[in-house]
Amino acid sequence: MSDYILELNNITKNFPGVKALDNANFRLKKKSIHALLGENGAGKSTLIKIITGVYNQNEGKLFLNNQEKSFSSPNEAMNAGISVVHQERNLIRRFSVGENLMLTNLPKNNIGLIDYNTVAKESKKWLDIMELDIDPNTIVSDLTVAKMQLCEIAKALSLESKILLLDEPTSSLSPQDTKNLFVLLKRLVAEQDVSIVFVSHKLEEVFEICDEVTVLRDGKNACESEQITNLNRQKLVKLMIGRDEQIIKSKKNIDFTDESLLDLQSINTDLGHKNINLNLKKGEILGLYGLVGAGRTELIKCVLGLDKINSGQILLNNKEIKIKSPKDALEKYKIGYISEDRKKEGLILMHDVLSNAGITVWSNLKKILSFLNDSIVYNKVDPYVKQLEVKTPSYQQIVSNLSGGNQQKISVAKWLASGTDILFIDEPTVGIDIKTKSYLHELIIELSLKGTSIILITSDMPEMISLADRIITMKDFKVVGETINNHNYEEMSSSIMGNIHE
Amino acid sequence: MNNKIPNFVKTNQFGLLILVIVFICIFSFSTDGFTSRFNIYALSRVVALDIMIGLAMMVVILTGGLNLSLGALGVSAAMFGGWCMETMGIPISITIILVLAFGSFLGWINGFVTVRTGVHSFIVTLATMSIYFGFMTLLTEAEAFRKLPEAFTDFGSLKLFNKYVSPLLIISVLTCFVLYYIFKYTDIGRKLIAAGANPDAAELSGISVDRMFIYCHMLSGFLAALAGIMLTARIGAAIPSMAGHLGFDWLLPAFLAPVLGGTLLSGGKVTVFGTMLGAILVTLINNGLYLIDVGEFWVRFFLGIILLGAVLLDRAREYFTVKNSIVS
């Protein structure tokens, strides 16, 4: 008898033209938190889908509690006690928490109607186990993002799951919520006999919470069930990307007493921003830090004319400007915005690479009678797509078929092609693998060295401290601090968090 | 995997083309009059109109919306044209320009109200359908304009190519080429498609989405007005009921052609030549069933079934759309 609850041996999975998994092993110990790591495309999702019965492996065996199993549907895996909590919420937003938790097994009364008292009582039990102070009758859409995440875990527990797969569970959580989640996970493991597979791009979290690590690279094991205590960040990154990580630091001499390129003066907005003052120097990377909900993205959208500015003024080169729309911003003032939500706002997923990369330059390229053909657009955007090393079979490839990293590169490429003077970059590396991430970091620094002025919004503290020249902290739609970045992580992060928690 | 099969074969249009050929074969063998010169000429007159109203609907479906006022708008424009020529004695060429401008204006109203209120165009055009038709009936007192200039009505009954083809069909086919050119080879066409596919992303990429949506509705009004003129020329008079009550008779072919043709109901994809083939298919089936003599109600029954099938096809297409190009 081994003490593994779940064992996958020599798993191979072929897709047309690709070997997604090649003799991969994965062993999950009872009552442990096991990190499953790897770059995008390394085979993590395929492995998870095999564990949860979405795919069947071509070769290799899966053992659950030492018994060989093969799941033909996600339902079978769920009944065997394996649950996944995805990045995307799987709750029905207009139903109550109780209804969501009991959804697959709603208790009925004598005449066959739903027995809401039992729903509340039963779901309360699971919420209590998690020490969650939520009324089961609350409608899901009224919860905070963090609470929704916790409800999903409660839902998984209510299905009597013994194995929980958490896919990037912290990507939309604040540092405080993340801490709470980790306390909870540790308690679940200790008290409820649950074993957890933890997938994350944030290595700090892996070191904080996991016992063992399995790393996949190109479908093979780069390491297998390694004790976390034997590893450090450098070693782990090397396992993931196959080479040492390059630490990037922006080193520039910017005179902050210089005249500002863009100047926001006492801006008040419809969305609730109060008296916002900030200025951007030429060639500077100005960081906007804050927790989710601090109003950073919203501020940028107001500046772009998507929401109303009630008072205050915007100066560009000391001249007051009024930006009516993103079109105005791009065409009149050469200001661009790289959205945090590349799927909804950054890209047109159903269209091909060429039209996505070229969308910002069509207006400039058009000839007489608005004539424009593919080769004109191609000639303009090709250098940028090449520079960013976008991996795509062709320019006719539909963007939704590309990996997240490549999609992000395209949403950056289109703004490089447009040749803007000022770029607002919003969470550029969320859910993106380390290689692409450090590539994008280099690019952002290079852009600023060439004279593009950048306002960078990121909730990733290390990213902020390695890139920004100056960091503005926002909280509750107000500016609460401004610090010149000295690139010392400890000093800067404590100063910024100090600003937030004052 | 399927590298050896040319891409064209995998497209929706190819499937349609096959269907068109199959139906032509079936009807040629099973009916007497199908391949007669008279029938082919009659077909060309009908299909010309079906193509035009299909295109008029297609350009609004592009935005993810609908234009239910299509028929009412087209007839209103046609009646306006009849009034210009008969009552005001305005020359034909100027009348045509005025009618097209009028149609575009009515389309602009649809677009403007849709964009400004944020209400779905389904509701907006349901309302304007009633408004346009009601207003038109009020002004014309439901009287037809039957004394149109001969040069105009003669054009409608002109027979070309050994008397097989109506010039109306040539107008429709030319319109297809112009629209294809606009969507494929112009800045504005690309922006219309981008705005339809993902309004948020298009707006943030510097496209004025509201303006694009209004353009689509104007184009729809323009094409519907053109269809109205063509119908007037075909029957030699402008009659308030020529597209049925509230213009309903146009709605079924207007939906069928683009949806069969491969235009996504959720927007962001146009198929000009698919719409053309879709219209041809609908007209063929219509005509063939009449010749087989199955009766008016069965024809409607079949067209309804085909629309339902086409919508199911649309659902399936959203999953398999991957390989298809945006403009075709």
Range of weakest confidence among A8-22, A330-344, B7-21, B168-182 = B7-21
The answer to whether residue A246 neighbours chain B at the CB level (below 8 Å) is no
The answer to whether residue B252 neighbours chain A at the CB level (below 8 Å) is no
Q: Higher-confidence residue: B316 or A204?
A: A204
B chain contacts of residue A330, beta-carbon cutoff 8 Å: 205-206
- Are B194 and A355 inside 8 Å of each other by CB? yes
Q: Are A416 and A387 in contact (CB under 8 A)?
A: yes
Given this model, what pLDDT does residue B2 score? 41
Nearest to B205 among A372, A373, A414 (CB): A414
Q: What does pLDDT average to over chain A? A: 86
- pLDDT > 70: what percent of chain A? 96
- Interface mutation target, options B115, B184, B187, chain A, most CBs of A under 10 Å: B187
Given this model, what pLDDT does residue B16 score? 81
- Are B194 and A326 inside 8 Å of each other by CB? no
Range of weakest confidence among A94-98, A201-205, A251-255 = A251-255
The answer to whether residue A396 neighbours chain B at the CB level (below 8 Å) is yes
Q: Are A8 and A171 in contact (CB under 8 A)?
A: no
Pairs across A and B, CB distance < 8 A: 92
Give the confidence band of B311 by pLDDT, cuts at 50, 70, 90: confident
Given this model, what pLDDT does residue B188 score? 93
**Cα R_g (chain B), whole angstroms:** 20
A chain contacts of residue B189, beta-carbon cutoff 8 Å: 370
Q: Are A388 and A443 in contact (CB under 8 A)?
A: yes
B chain contacts of residue A349, beta-carbon cutoff 8 Å: 198
Given this model, what pLDDT does residue A217 score? 85
Structure letter (DSSP) for residue B142: T
A chain contacts of residue B205, beta-carbon cutoff 8 Å: 326, 330, 359-360, 414
- pLDDT > 90: what percent of chain A? 27
Given this model, what pLDDT does residue A69 score? 86
Between positions 7 and 36 of A, the ones with CB within 8 A of B are 16
- Are A372 and B326 inside 8 Å of each other by CB? no
Given this model, what pLDDT does residue B3 score? 46
Instruction: Give the minimum alpha-carbon distance from A457 to chain B in angstroms, rounded to a whole number.
Output: 16
Domains of chain B: 12-20+31-318 (1.10.3470)
**Element of type H or E holding A83:** strand A82-85
- Are B187 and A362 inside 8 Å of each other by CB? yes
Give ipTM to 2 decimals: 0.80
Nearest to B190 among A349, A350, A372 (CB): A372
Residue ranges of domains in chain A: 4-241, 246-334+421-502, 344-419
pLDDT digits (tens, 9 = 90+) for A129-150: 877 888 888 888 888 777 888 8
pLDDT digits (tens, 9 = 90+) for A219-241: 888 888 888 888 888 888 888 87
**Closest of A287, A292, A344 to residue A176, by C-alpha:** A292
pLDDT digits (tens, 9 = 90+) for A423-451: 999 998 877 777 788 888 989 998 998 88
Does A246-334+421-502 match A4-241 at the fold level?
yes
pLDDT digits (tens, 9 = 90+) for A360-407: 999 888 888 889 888 888 998 998 888 888 888 888 888 888 877 888
B chain contacts of residue A424, beta-carbon cutoff 8 Å: none
Residue of B nearest to A411 (CA): B205
pLDDT digits (tens, 9 = 90+) for B73-125: 999 999 999 999 999 989 999 999 999 999 999 999 999 999 999 999 999 99
DSSP B46-108: HHHHHHHHHHHHHHHHTTT---TTHHHHHHHHHHHHHIIIIIS---HHHHHHHHHHHHHHHHH
Between positions 1 and 40 of B, the ones with CB within 8 A of A are 1
Q: What number of H helices and E strands is found in chain B?
A: 14, 0
Give the confidence band of A254 by pLDDT, cuts at 50, 70, 90: confident
The answer to whether residue A307 neighbours chain B at the CB level (below 8 Å) is no
**CATH H-level, domain A4-241: superfamily:** P-loop containing nucleotide triphosphate hydrolases (3.40.50.300)
CATH architecture of A246-334+421-502: 3-Layer(aba) Sandwich (3.40)
Secondary structure E strands in A178-308: 195-199, 212-217, 220-227, 262-269, 276-280, 285-289
Mean pLDDT across the stretch A206-217?
A: 90
pLDDT digits (tens, 9 = 90+) for B157-203: 888 887 788 899 999 999 999 999 999 999 999 999 999 999 999 99
- Are A339 and B204 inside 8 Å of each other by CB? yes
The answer to whether residue A2 neighbours chain B at the CB level (below 8 Å) is no
DSSP B118-138: ---HHHHHHHHHHHHHHHHHH
**Closest of B251, B252, B250 to residue B228, by C-alpha:** B250
Given this model, what pLDDT does residue A304 score? 94
Range of weakest confidence among A243-257, A281-295, A319-333, B97-111 = A243-257
Q: Higher-confidence residue: B3 or B177?
A: B177
Q: Is 60 exceeded by the pLDDT of residue A104?
A: yes
Q: Is 50 exceeded by the pLDDT of residue A1?
A: no
B chain contacts of residue A348, beta-carbon cutoff 8 Å: 194, 197-198, 201-202, 268
Mean pLDDT across the stretch A405-430?
A: 90
Mean pLDDT across the stretch B230-247?
A: 90
Q: Is 90 exceeded by the pLDDT of residue B6?
A: no
Given this model, what pLDDT does residue B170 score? 93
Given this model, what pLDDT does residue A79 score? 85
Instruction: Give the minimum alpha-carbon distance from B314 to chain A in angstroms, rounded to a whole number.
Output: 15
The answer to whether residue A249 neighbours chain B at the CB level (below 8 Å) is no
Give the C-alpha separation, A492 to A494, whole Å.
6
Structure letter (DSSP) for residue A241: H
